[in-house]
A and B are shown apart, each in its own frame.
Chain A
Amino acid sequence: MSQPILTLSGLSKSFPGVRALHDVSLSLRPGSVTAILGENGAGKSTIVKVLTGIYRPSDGEIRVRGELKSFSSPRDAWAAGIAAIHQETVMFDELSVAENIFMGHMPTGPARFVDWSEMHARAAALLKRIDAAIPPEFKLKRLSVAQKHLVEIARALSHEAQVVIMDEPTAALSANEIDDLFRIVAQLKAEGRAVLFISHKFDEIFRIADDFVCLRDGEKVGEGAIASVTEPQLVRMMVGRPVDQVFPKRDVAIGDVVLSVAGLSNATEYADVSFDLRKGEILGLYGLVGAGRTEAMQGLFGITPKTRGTVTLEGRRLSIGAPSDAITAGISYVPEDRQEQGAIVSLGIRENVTLANLSKYIRGLFLSRTSEQAETRRLGKRLAVKAANWEQKLAELSGGNQQKVVIAKWLATRPKVIVLDEPTKGIDVGSKAAVHDFIGELASEGLAVVLITSELPEVMGLADRVLVMKEGRVVDAFKRGQWSAEAIVGAATGAAKEAA
């Protein structure tokens, strides 16, 4: 075996009151892909931040080709040949593609002035290497999400990095784009670089990785060749106990039609979205990222104006111009982006839970704290929110508990229909199961559920029916028992239609 490019030994990192990493060692071989697995909070991002010079380790050594290194800024990490493609697209929309690639290490000419022609030439060469037809002088904001990812990869390559870290690089990509990305990963491997690959998706890990390292609570709990393990073994390693990824579907008596949507359309995002939803039913809305599912449901909820279409709830035609209309009528929408759209982290649990229907807690002219507290207590206990007290700020809670508070806020409005937009996105395996079970429980209580998800096992495990959206339209519908994974994916990607 060749000498490892990068070796970490005994790496630890503590924050006041938190031990993020404890005594983690790993080594990366040239020309290999190593996957890091672990639940949220297991320490994956901390490793990335230590390796890229954002954090300094509390203890332990980083060696690059046997040489001891200490990184105090991202520049040091670059100099050592380590570059990362980060989870959030951390880029500059208003600057050019070339500047995005070279920000922080722009080529300079005489008198240390930035050499723009050199920079553009080098950017073009890098982009060509990964087959990206993107002009280097374009402003970044003109690019699609996938193209931005390519620019990020070019940025990593611009450092001539021997170690490329990819932190959940596929989160925002479609199936085709993921294929492109994996082709580039293979190319990096062939060039003898080491890739550190972080992902929640097992299919990707089995497809691309050679080795794995599994973390739990900041400690390494397993490592080895990916060929030597199975998915259930990995899951057990991650959570420390066996967990069925998807709960068995509950048997729920499906009632009458509650919500009926007909011809929902707007100008550019979705067209002719129609469906009926029954009491106790879970309707899956499947499709690729960017198929218009979120947009259509936000149109239903009144966030973005729909231009055409009717919404009928329990036989009554609704006119929804704003979210408050939808809430009053009994429709709730739990948004995808918890931090931005769901939780108000600087307010307390009580204030979050009661926010969407404050009028219910008014006694006389003023809000009644007792009635607010009663509702918070009821829902908080039901969802098993872990907190010191109900006034605690959301910022002090874990991501999973924040999500519970957000769901509590929507249940407090006593909805008849609840739309859940990617409710398990970015949630670790253990909490996922709890969310799945909770969705089943809601349906069994007679709620009608729309579940937007990009994960096939989730939609096939939970839904009674599945609508597939592609390019803003519903292209197919399936009933439980009459579907196959191939058919659903085929409808979402358009493969089935072309084959037929």
Chain B
Amino acid sequence: MKGLFNYRELILASILLVGIAAIGAYQPAFLRWGNISDMLTETSVLFMMALAQMVVILTRGIDLSVAANLALSGMLAALVSQYYPEIPLVLMILTGVVCGLILGLFNGLLIAFLGIPPIVMTLGTLAIFRGLIIIIAGGDQVNASEMGAAFQAFPKQIFLGLASPVWIAIAVSLLFWIFLNYTRAGRGLYAVGGNPVAARYCGIDQRRQELLAYVISGAVAGLCGYLWVARYGVAYSEIASGYELTVIAACVIGGVSIGGGVGSVAGTLLGALFLGIVMTALPVLQISPFWQMAISGAVILAAVVINARAERRPDKLILPEARRLRRV
């Protein structure tokens, strides 16, 4: 098994460490545990969503409907909490997860079995999911006062210094790591994205792998839907609007190749962490939050340029002198 980090991820990790140290030197408050813990809580949804998106991108796909899925699943969970406050919390969370899973299944079935291009399919379902929120909620929003107490309290509970969403994110990340590195299906995702023809020759069913990726993506979006709605205490049609692009950005910064077959759990987590730090560091540094978007844009561009340089195929070395030079 390879080390936890590869070379590229080490660079990203060191940039992050230097950045954190620099911010900490300027504003020691940033390094306080409370702040770090808050930052992790704030980023926990992004961690999970980015991992799920990575799984889809590994198969050469893309899932633009994740944020809409999150909003719809979150709304459904909130409605369940509003109208059936007596049922156990686990079932409410499960409502979100199952709803997300079914929506992901819908994406996956049409993409894998009808061959609809993923970008087209998920663009369509993005619009559909958002619209469905209005329809199922009758155009209203669900406010904090209407949701159950336990429903809202859970994401704010602290265990061992970290809020429950962070623990969930840690558990989900571990599951992803095991799945992607230690199961045949997980390695199959890399195979299908890396070379679909070769995967077929190895007896790997591309359609099943694709379906799996979108189902995972959907289920994670459903789980995050609950966390989002419960944490911010409101569910309406516009929550997490445009968040799909933030999620993809985290993957790109983390070194996931949009061409498929390349990406790691560690890299993606670092990419999400990077965006999380940018978002939380700005107020600490007393920089207007309006900078956030511009900075993440610049970071995405820097990341793709650097990745592209690292991934560039080396020149063919035919001349003996060129080969000697390369060896030294």
Verify that A and B bind, or say they do not: yes
Q: Which residues of A contact B (CB under 8 A)?
A: 52-54, 73-75, 78, 84, 86, 88, 90-96, 99, 103-106, 108, 112-114, 116-117, 137, 267-271, 290-292, 295, 471-473
Closest to A88 in B: B197
Closest to B259 in A: A94
A113 touches B178 (CB 8 A): yes
Q: A112-B183, A114-B184 are in contact. Are A268 and B316 (CB under 8 A)?
A: yes
Q: Which of A95, A105, A295, A471 contacts B194 (CB 8 A)?
A: A95
Binds A, one of B32-40, B77-85, B94-102, B201-209: B201-209
Q: Bound state CA distance, A92 and B200, in angstroms? A: 12
Q: A94-B194, A94-B261, A114-B182 are in contact. Are A74 and B187 (CB under 8 A)?
A: no
B183 touches A114 (CB 8 A): yes
Q: Bound state CA distance, A114 and B189, in angstroms? A: 14
Q: How far is the CB of A271 from chain B (nearest CB, A)?
A: 6
A-side contacts of B198, CB under 8 Å:
90-92, 103
Q: How far is the CB of B88 from chain A (nearest CB, A)?
A: 29
Q: Bound state CA distance, A324 and B60, in angstroms? A: 33
Q: Bound state CA distance, A34 and B203, in angstroms? A: 26
B202 touches A104 (CB 8 A): yes
Q: Bound state CA distance, A116 and B2, in angstroms? A: 10
Q: How far is the CB of B105 from chain A (nearest CB, A)?
A: 24
Q: Which of B197, B315, B318 contacts A90 (CB 8 A)?
A: B197
B-side contacts of A93, CB under 8 Å:
194-195
Q: Bound state CA distance, A108 and B187, in angstroms? A: 12
Q: How far is the CB of B142 from chain A (nearest CB, A)?
A: 41
B-side contacts of A117, CB under 8 Å:
1
A268 touches B191 (CB 8 A): no
Chain B CB count within 10 A is highest, among A113, A117, A292, for A113
B-side contacts of A90, CB under 8 Å:
195, 197-198, 201
Count B-side interface residues using an 8 Å CB cutoff. 30
A-side contacts of B316, CB under 8 Å:
268-269, 290, 295
Q: Which of A113, A137, A270, A292 contacts B183 (CB 8 A)?
A: A113
Closest to B197 in A: A90
How many residue pairs, one in A and one in B, have C-beta atoms under 8 Å apart? 100
Q: Which of B182, B199, B201, B317 contacts A54 (CB 8 A)?
A: B201
Does B161 interact with chain A (Cβ within 8 Å)? no
Q: Bound state CA distance, A113 and B194, in angstroms? A: 21
B-side contacts of A92, CB under 8 Å:
190-191, 194-195, 198-199, 261
Q: Which of B187, B190, B204, B318 contacts A291 (CB 8 A)?
A: B318
Does B181 interact with chain A (Cβ within 8 Å)? yes
Q: Which of A103, A112, A267 contacts B315 (CB 8 A)?
A: A267
A103 touches B187 (CB 8 A): yes
Q: A52-B201, A74-B203, A92-B261 are in contact. Are A99 and B187 (CB under 8 A)?
A: yes
Q: Which of B200, B201, B315 contacts A269 (CB 8 A)?
A: B315
Other 12 A-B pairs with CB < 8 A, given A73-B203, A472-B319: A74-B202, A88-B197, A92-B194, A94-B190, A103-B187, A105-B203, A114-B187, A268-B319, A269-B318, A270-B318, A471-B319, A473-B319
